[in-house]
Amino acid sequence: MASSLHNRMTRASNRVAFVVCILFTVFILALLALVTGYLVKIGFGSLSWDFFTKEPSGDPKFPGGMRHALVGTGVLILLASAVGIPLGMLTGVYLAEYDAKSFIASPVRFICDVLAGVPSIVVGILGYELLVAPFSRYNAWAGSLALAFIMIPIVARTTEEMLRLVPNSYREASIALGATKAWTIIRVVIPAATGSIVTGIMLAIARVAGETAPLLFTALGSRFTPTGWSDLNNPFPSLTAQIFSNSIQPAPETRALAWAGIIVLISLIFVLNLGMRVFTRSRHPG
Amino acid sequence: MKPAMTLGGDSVASLNIPGQGTLAPGRASQAASAASLAGPVAMTDTHAEVAAEKHVLRVSDFCLYYGANKALHGINMDIPVGKVTALIGPSGCGKSTLLRSMNRLNDLIDGVRIEGDMLFNEHSIYDRRVDVIELRKRMGMVFQKSNPFPMSIFENVIYGLRIDGERNKRVLMETCERSLKGAALWDEVKDRLHSSALGLSGGQQQRLCIARAIAADPEVLLMDEPCSALDPIATGKVEDLIYELRGKYSIVIVTHNMQQAARVSDFTAFMYMGRLMEYGPTNTLFLTPHLKQTEAYVTGRFG
């Protein structure tokens, strides 16, 4: 019977599709495992306490550590967040709560999306022209502002998306009780979306933690651990820039340190992502 | 062909009727022809008993447009003070729209345009100078689907007070207790006031929303099908609550359930296709309605 043949073929193709999916998944997982394994093998050897406690010694055979770069990246992320998070969130609030359909909002949203996709090297060059060249020195302010520039569209869009997910019934109930729109947003809508907004922020931080190009044009790099406020006015170290710098050095020991840096960077991003998942799950069990 | 309304009138903003209670005889029972629905605004059949009541809210020639679509056609009705008034009618007849217009919640929707006016204690609601925030504080609203905030029970109930800047812990606690007792929820939640409101059952959440609405001590309670998402037992509890709350508050309740209207309300208004068809004491409207249309609806022949 024709239908019986059709049935058999349908079932067969069902099985084939299933097998193909599994194969490709295994393939990709194998690839990931390969890359991770290779990294760990090369980098782990050069990972030592020195990495976290010493600055570069200048001696190519005994390169020292990347303590300065860790501190540098931390400071840059902090400064970038101080600017990027408030500006991003306020933009997101505007897009979601005020004039959601207005003719101003649409271009703003579009521009945010475009900016989010701008190659980070372009951001770096922009930072150079505006914040480095006029002062004739590379500095951390330029670096953190370049990173903030990258953060803002990400935070704005995720904040907007998350605020939109808050049910309208909350807003109506609040307004019906005599609250103003601002009060409703601050006291009801944003708290209702806090978990998701924090996730969006952590995503943005994970993104800028791994940026290199913008920093090469703005903060450049340094061999010294930053200690005081005045260091911000000078070339500033960062993990990504230091990895780049080390990886093109001739001495293999110096390059090995770059691999160690890569492992630390990937672990940092991994931990951030993990933290995000744990955070989200703890707020929404099951 | 307008009813002789000397007081309601063709009004817009500046209508200010010095304190009064009864209406001119022109508003007494008038027969409206059901067949003239398609034409100009059909006259509302308002029973004399309604006209005799002191009213807290007056709807005056009220029209509402969603864009080009006219949703409410010249509604004229008075909401009696201290009583429960039910709005019934088939889906889409405009009951919820009318209710939401009373606390200007329709302002939140784009493209809404109104004509006519509403008067709350003789003061225009839709006047340009009206403080909408203050108006809403004097009216409480309960929605069809219960919507407690994702906060603790305590924070939900006293939300209205927090808006006013009240910080005195004793006042907040007292108000919380009073409102929860008033909503017949105190005994069930008094040991877990600081746990999340979302952990309550549907019926409890709705009673929490009622407590939240009365905590701010409004004069009018607007209820939009408050029991439609509840099981019969929870519905019973909420209906008992409504019965107790009358007297202290003037209640307007929109309901699909005619038995509920019959159980709970003192006066019932029957709406159809954006028009107020008949409005009178509940018993009369259900047992001996004036209009054929009303009779057809309440006996379940349509809608």
pLDDT at B40 over 60: no
Same domain, A30 and A66: no
Same domain, A195 and A213: yes
Same domain, A171 and A30: no
Out of A29, A46, A63, a domain closes at: A46
Tell the CATH superfamily of the B45-136+266-303 domain: P-loop containing nucleotide triphosphate hydrolases (3.40.50.300)
Same domain, A65 and A128: yes
Same domain, A40 and A135: no
Task: Answer whether B126's CB lies under 8 Å from B104's CB.
Answer: yes
pLDDT at A109 over 90: no
| First and final C-alpha spacing in chain B | 28
pTM of the model: 0.77
A176 at interface of B, judged by CB pairs closer than 8 A: yes
Residue pLDDT, tens place only, A233-253? 889 999 999 999 988 888 888
- Indicate the residue type of B137: K
Q: How many domains in chain A?
A: 2
Cα distance from A192 to chain B (closest Cα, Å)?
A: 6
* Structure ipTM over 0.85, yes or no: no
Q: How many CB pairs under 8 A join A and B?
A: 61
Residue A281's pLDDT is 72
Substitution target from B101, B108, B130 for chain A, most A beta carbons within 10 A: B108
Same domain, A102 and A241: yes
Residue B27's pLDDT is 37
pLDDT band of residue B9 (cuts 50, 70, 90) is very low
A192 at interface of B, judged by CB pairs closer than 8 A: yes
pLDDT band of residue B303 (cuts 50, 70, 90) is low
Same domain, A38 and A61: no
A7 at interface of B, judged by CB pairs closer than 8 A: no
Q: Backbone phi, then psi, for B246, in 5-degree steps?
A: -60, 160
Q: Using CB atoms, pick whichever of A169, A178, A192 lies closest to residue B143.
A: A169
Across B291-299, average pLDDT: 88
Q: At A260, which CATH number?
A: 1.10.3720.10
A188 at interface of B, judged by CB pairs closer than 8 A: yes
- Within the 101-120 window of chain A, which residues sit less than 8 Å (CB to CB) from chain B? 101
Q: Backbone phi, then psi, for A150, in 5-degree steps?
A: -75, -35
Cα distance from B125 to chain A (closest Cα, Å)?
A: 14
B256 at interface of A, judged by CB pairs closer than 8 A: no
Q: Backbone phi, then psi, for B117, in 5-degree steps?
A: -155, 165
- Do B137 and A169 count as a contact with CB atoms less than 8 A apart? no
Task: Answer whether B267's CB lies under 8 Å from B55's CB.
Answer: no
Same domain, A100 and A231: yes
Q: Which residues constitute the domain of residue A12?
A: 2-46
Alpha helices in A139-211 (DSSP H): 140-165, 168-176, 181-184, 190-209
Measured distance CA(B89)–CA(B97) in Å, rounded: 12
Can you tell me which residue has the tokens 């651990």? A225
Residue B96's pLDDT is 93
Residue A283's pLDDT is 64
Same domain, A172 and A88: yes
Cα distance from A260 to chain B (closest Cα, Å)?
A: 45
Out of A46, A62, A77, a domain closes at: A46
Same domain, A32 and A55: no
B121 at interface of A, judged by CB pairs closer than 8 A: no
| % of chain A exceeding 90 in pLDDT | 49
Q: Which of A165, A172, A156 is nearest to A193 (CA)?
A: A165
- Within the 259-278 window of chain B, which residues sit less than 8 Å (CB to CB) from chain A? none
Same domain, A266 and A193: yes
pLDDT at A187 over 70: yes
- Do A176 and B140 count as a contact with CB atoms less than 8 A apart? yes
Q: Using CB atoms, pick whichever of A101, A172, A179 lies closest to residue B105.
A: A172
Same domain, A7 and A67: no
